[in-house]
Amino acid sequence: MENSSVLIVEDSEVDQFIAKYMFNKFDENIEVLQAFDGVEAIDILKNLKVPPLFIFLDINMPRMNGHEFLKEYELNQLSTAPVIMLTSSCQPEEKEKCLEYKSVKKYLTKPLEVEDIAALF
């Protein structure tokens, strides 16, 4: 997939490393952009010429959590990229809350696996 990127929004360096590794394993041509909170993700999205294929979003992060990011993302129509929730929370009410956002297309639990990525394409 030439000229393709994904954005990983995750405050854990370990989870960032795993996600990047899985994407490189799936397709080394996909550029993995990394943000460590929602504020950084918004800055990245505002400066991209081409939207990422997907945004992988954690819920619990400092400065701006996943829900705050989603409100800002949808309110200001920052991108057309679908959001994939990537979280350690497997609580049904948390999943329901996330899936209420129109930009959220899928809810995955960590760690990200190659099979999860393949299922999106």
At 76, is the pLDDT very low, low, confident or very high (cuts 50, 70, 90)? confident
Tokens 């200001």 correspond to: 76
Domains of the chain, residue spans = 4-112
Share the mean pLDDT of the chain: 91
The angle that helices 38-47 and 66-75 make with each other, rounded to 10 degrees, is 30
**Architecture of the domain delimited by 4-112:** 3-Layer(aba) Sandwich (3.40)
pTM of the model: 0.91
Residue 36 vs residue 1, higher pLDDT? 36
Looking at residue 43, its pLDDT comes to: 95
Residue 56's closest CA among 46, 47, 69, 43?
69
Question: Which of these, 74, 79, 75, 84, lies nearest to 108 by C-alpha position?
Answer: 84
Identify the pLDDT of residue 7. Answer: 97
> d(Cα 72, Cα 26) in Å, to the nearest integer?
30
Residue 91 pLDDT:
81
pLDDT in tens, 7-56: 999 999 999 999 999 999 999 999 999 999 999 999 999 999 999 999 99
